[in-house]
Structures are given as structure tokens and as C-alpha cells.
């Protein structure tokens, strides 16, 4: 049973506009949420994280929002750049000291 879900397999955005990537989870006991960025044939790299006690965390062009009541988090990228084109994975930590990953969203930023 998938505990972390990314329901949009792909997203296309014009350069300079906002990219919004969504993630839903089912386990309210998760402590910590992370976003990873992955290029083909490479390992994922850490992008940004948020603790379950916060509702927003910002780092430059990247902002993660957490809505605990809806068990939903989102990653906002503003402004989007062509180099942001990659697969983005949402992950949750906790519940047995494991990471749980979503299936990923492939973002394409069109110049």
C-alpha cells in the first residue's frame, strides 16, 4: 500500500512561471517530509525538507507547504528555470525509521 502518493506523473511549465508539485500521504505519524530532485541515470539529490510541526519552509526559489489536516504537501518553484527539468520525488520519514517515497513527478520547464 502506497503511503506517499504523487498523483501527477508529469508537469509542463513555461520558463519564469510557477511550478507546483503535489504529494499526499496517508500516515499521520510521519515526522518529516523531504523533496528530492533526480536527473536520468543519477542518484536523487536533496532539495528541501519540512518538519511536521511547521507548515512552510522556504529556500531561495523553492518553498514547501505542509497541510497536516489534509495530509498534503506541495513544492513551489518560482521562477521556474529550464535547469529545473527533472523528476521530483516526495518522501516521508518516520514510522519504523524508514523513508517512504512517492512515484515521482517529471517536471519539464519550457524555455
Q: Which residues bind other proteins (CB under 8 A)?
A: 4, 6, 9, 31-32, 34, 36, 41-46, 49, 51, 89, 91, 93, 97-99, 101-104
Q: Could you tell me which of 10, 18, 11, 20 has the C-alpha nearest to residue 73?
A: 20
Closer to other proteins at the Cβ: 1 or 83? Answer: 1
Closer to other proteins at the Cβ: 65 or 79? Answer: 65
Closer to other proteins at the Cβ: 3 or 79? Answer: 3
Q: How far is the CB of 98 from other proteins (least distance, A)?
A: 7
Q: How far is the CB of 93 from other proteins (least distance, A)?
A: 5
Amino acid at each position: 500500500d502506497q503511503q506517499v502518493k504523487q498523483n501527477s506523473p508529469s508537469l509542463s511549465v513555461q520558463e519564469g512561471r510557477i511550478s507546483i508539485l503535489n504529494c499526499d500521504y496517508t500516515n499521520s505519524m510521519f515526522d518529516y517530509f523531504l523533496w528530492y530532485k533526480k536527473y536520468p541515470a543519477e542518484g536523487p539529490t536533496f532539495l528541501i525538507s519540512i518538519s511536521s510541526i511547521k507548515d512552510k519552509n522556504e529556500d531561495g526559489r523553492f518553498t514547501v507547504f505542509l497541510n497536516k489536516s489534509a495530509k498534503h504537501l506541495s513544492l513551489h518553484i518560482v521562477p521556474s528555470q529550464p535547469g529545473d527539468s527533472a523528476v521530483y520525488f516526495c518522501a516521508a520519514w518516520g514510522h519504523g525509521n524508514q523513508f517512504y517515497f512517492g512515484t515521482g513527478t517529471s517536471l519539464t520547464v519550457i524555455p
